[in-house]
Chains A and B, each alone.
Chain A
Amino acid sequence: MWRFVGLRILQAVPVILAVITVTFFLVRAAPGGPFDSEKAVSEQVRAALEARYRLDLPMHEQYLSYLGDLLQGDMGPSFYYPGRSVNDLIFQGLPITAELGFYALLIALVIGCGAGVIASLKPNTAQDYVPMSLAMIGICMPSFLLGPLLVLIFGIWLDVMPISGWGSTPGDKILPSITLGAMYAAYIARLSRSGMLEVMNQDYLRTARAKGLPETTVVFRHALRGGLLPVISYLGPAFAALLSGSFVVETVFQIPGLGRFYIQAAFNRDYTMILGTTVFLSTLIVLFNLLSDIVAAWMNPRLRYQFKN
């Protein structure tokens, strides 16, 4: 088991290194440096600025010194916000995005599993078609369409929900979480439905029913665990995808999270911020994938047995 974990962690290192390198050189290739401004700047001033940010060093030296700092946990100063470091900015935006992601995932799980399980109980009937079609909406309606529509209906026409912000007005966390969670609810609904369907006809459930157990017990005590296994292995990548998916939701609802910081950094050519966020998010994603693989392996008794030996 530990060998498995150790091996996977080792494999993650070149991935992250590749991410850093690719992003570093990609960002440097971009037109529009961080110091272009509308008022013209004299040559001397520009030179001084570039020296301060080490942009006058040859490319490979910049790269190596960045790596060196990174190993000590220092992601460098932001190019756009003088006086602030990338660490500051990331750790300011991260809790918000994480909270958003968490609520979205929660909603996705509740609605998704609920719909999927309900649908699987009576396949090919209305009880199946209706939730699954609604789930389709989550997949087919992009978040940047769903979000504004929800804002239009609930925030403006009905005026019962706040339309932007996070944590400044009570209830303003609801619409963004729903918008972000909708797509994942759809996938989870489909996953749980097919997982449950596979499991429902298994012999051990027939035994339970033959024993006379009520259907609810059969479903909740026995079927769910096996049926929801595909959902569990989906969770890792899902949470990672949520982080990226938050970009749009944070923009639409003006939420000061990491996603918005990233987009602003990309447009502002804030090299260090772009690099820092990319490295950070990639590491998170690799970690989550790893975790979810481990949990899925652990939960699957066959795999678990395999690893013990």
Chain B
Amino acid sequence: MTTETANTIQAMPKGTSLWQDAFHRLRKNRLAMFGLCYLLVLIVICLLTPWIAPYGYEEQNLRLGAVPPNTEHWLGTDTFGRDMLTRILYGGRISLLVGFIATFVALVIGITYGAIAGYAGGRVDSVMMRLVDIFYALPYMIFIILLMVVFGRNLLLLFLAIGAVEWLVMARIVRGQVQSLRQQEYVEAAMSLGLSPFAIIARHLIPNALGPVIVYTTLTIPNVMLLEAFLSFLGLGIQPPQSSWGVLISYGVETMEEYPWLLIFPGLALTITLFALNFFGDGLRDALDPKASRD
């Protein structure tokens, strides 16, 4: 070929993969990028909290009592004289921890369940999905409350209880994806090559189903955090002396008239984080499949 042709070919933009396309679209969505940046900063701060927090977590100063924000306590103190900035940071650790871990539990259960159902098809799939439908119909709030009331409130149970509720939709999504992917030729090829079903699921189906799964995971985390905050508000979630944002908010509500900062700051922290998570999740969804119908 001539040099011009070669140069022209050289100048042509490289072909992009699905992921690179998606990432491009995501970059252009400013709200989503804001969400992502905020989350990354938040996670880093929360991880570093034990080292950067200005005061001890439980350090109380009874004589000081609750004071509004000032130079010594940037976000004020609560009625025990404990620094609010510190408490919100530690609360964030717990809230995020619950959010991520419970979502992870839901993820693992949901993916496994959905992949098996989607791959197996037929009666097995029917029965498994029927079970999902049954659980879906239950008023989960009632059961979670009951679970926490009955078995006491420890962190592990909280993760399990919340995770046990959120896996359902995940299972449905994965199953749907696996079902459609299963028809693809490369799967047939793999099967005729003699690959075990397990290998097929693990190596071909799941990775390709990941798109919607990632999106849904990002959108599950805020739901989980909300659920935990709600339980803590009722007194069933995180127990003192640990605090999550939900717990801080419930304390803030009690004294919101005299000391509104006790409500406003944790409330802001939770709301903004949820915003960020939702914007990012929406952005991901738009980026991965702009034609997908919302909600």
Quick check: do A and B touch in the complex, using CB within 8 A?
A: yes
A interface residues (Cβ-Cβ under 8 A, vs B): 11-12, 14-15, 18-19, 22-23, 26-27, 29-31, 136-137, 139-142, 144-145, 148-149, 152, 156, 187, 190-191, 193-194, 198, 230, 240, 243-245, 247-248, 251-252, 262-263, 266-267, 274, 277-278, 281-282, 285-286, 289
Does the CB pair B253–A144 fall under 8 Å? yes
Does the CB pair B257–A144 fall under 8 Å? no
Does the CB pair A281–B142 fall under 8 Å? yes
Does the CB pair A278–B139 fall under 8 Å? yes
Does the CB pair A152–B295 fall under 8 Å? no
* Whole-angstrom CA separation of A266 from B140 in the bound complex: 14
Which partner residue on chain B sits nearest A243 by CB separation? B139
Distance in Å from the Cβ of A90 to the closest Cβ of chain B? 13
Does the CB pair B137–A140 fall under 8 Å? no
* Whole-angstrom CA separation of A141 from B279 in the bound complex: 14
* Whole-angstrom CA separation of A142 from B275 in the bound complex: 12
Which partner residue on chain A sits nearest B253 by CB separation? A148
- The segment out of B94-102, B144-152, B196-204 that lies at the interface is B144-152
Does the CB pair B270–A282 fall under 8 Å? no
Q: Which residues of B contact A266 (CB under 8 A)?
A: 145-146, 149
The answer to whether the Cβ of B278 comes within 8 Å of any Cβ in the partner chain is: yes
Does the CB pair A140–B139 fall under 8 Å? no
Nearest 8 pairs of A and B residues by beta carbon? A194-B294, A140-B274, A30-B150, A244-B141, A148-B253, A144-B233, A266-B149, A15-B134
Does the CB pair A152–B271 fall under 8 Å? no
CB-contact partner of B256 in A152, A191, A289, under 8 A = A152
- The segment out of B5-13, B209-217, B222-230 that lies at the interface is B222-230
* Whole-angstrom CA separation of A148 from B260 in the bound complex: 11
Q: Which residues of B contact A230 (CB under 8 A)?
A: 293, 295
Does the CB pair B229–A142 fall under 8 Å? yes
* Whole-angstrom CA separation of A29 from B229 in the bound complex: 26
Q: Which residues of B contact A152 (CB under 8 A)?
A: 256-257, 260, 263
Secondary structure of the B contact surface, majority rule: helix
**24 A-B residue contacts at CB 8 Å?**
A15-B134, A15-B137, A19-B138, A26-B150, A29-B151, A30-B151, A31-B152, A136-B279, A139-B278, A140-B274, A142-B233, A142-B249, A144-B249, A145-B253, A145-B263, A191-B294, A194-B293, A194-B294, A244-B140, A247-B145, A248-B230, A262-B142, A263-B145, A282-B137
* Whole-angstrom CA separation of A152 from B271 in the bound complex: 18
B interface residues (Cβ-Cβ under 8 A, vs A): 130, 133-134, 137-143, 145-147, 149-152, 222, 226, 229-230, 233-234, 249-250, 253, 256-257, 260, 263, 267, 270-271, 274-275, 278-279, 293-295
Distance in Å from the Cβ of A2 to the closest Cβ of chain B? 21
Does the CB pair B150–A285 fall under 8 Å? no
Q: Which residues of A contact B230 (CB under 8 A)?
A: 142, 144, 248
Which partner residue on chain A sits nearest B263 by CB separation? A148
CB-contact partner of B222 in A27, A29, A140, A244, under 8 A = A140
Secondary structure of the A contact surface, majority rule: helix
Does the CB pair A282–B138 fall under 8 Å? yes
Known: A142-B270, A190-B294, A244-B141. A136 touches B149 (CB 8 A): no
* Whole-angstrom CA separation of A19 from B135 in the bound complex: 9
Q: Which residues of A contact B226 (CB under 8 A)?
A: 142
Q: Which residues of B contact A142 (CB under 8 A)?
A: 226, 229-230, 233, 249, 270
Does the CB pair A30–B149 fall under 8 Å? yes
Does the CB pair A282–B139 fall under 8 Å? yes
Q: Which residues of B contact A12 (CB under 8 A)?
A: 137
Distance in Å from the Cβ of B137 to the closest Cβ of chain A? 5
* Whole-angstrom CA separation of A277 from B134 in the bound complex: 18
Distance in Å from the Cβ of B66 to the closest Cβ of chain A? 16
Distance in Å from the Cβ of A273 to the closest Cβ of chain B? 12
Does the CB pair B275–A140 fall under 8 Å? yes
Of A191, A277, A278, most buried by chain B (CB within 10 Å of CB) is: A278
Does the CB pair A140–B271 fall under 8 Å? yes
Distance in Å from the Cβ of B133 to the closest Cβ of chain A? 8
Does the CB pair A198–B293 fall under 8 Å? yes
Q: Which residues of B contact A251 (CB under 8 A)?
A: 234
* Whole-angstrom CA separation of A23 from B140 in the bound complex: 12
CB-contact partner of A145 in B139, B150, B267, B293, under 8 A = B267
Q: Which residues of B contact A19 (CB under 8 A)?
A: 138
Q: Which residues of A contact B150 (CB under 8 A)?
A: 26-27, 29-31
Known: A27-B146, A145-B271, A194-B293. A240 touches B139 (CB 8 A): yes
Q: Which residues of B contact A286 (CB under 8 A)?
A: 137
Which partner residue on chain B sits nearest A147 by CB separation? B253
Known: A139-B274, A140-B274. A285 touches B137 (CB 8 A): yes
Distance in Å from the Cβ of B160 to the closest Cβ of chain A? 14
Does the CB pair A193–B294 fall under 8 Å? yes
Distance in Å from the Cβ of A251 to the closest Cβ of chain B? 7
Distance in Å from the Cβ of B127 to the closest Cβ of chain A? 12
Q: Which residues of A contact B249 (CB under 8 A)?
A: 142, 144-145
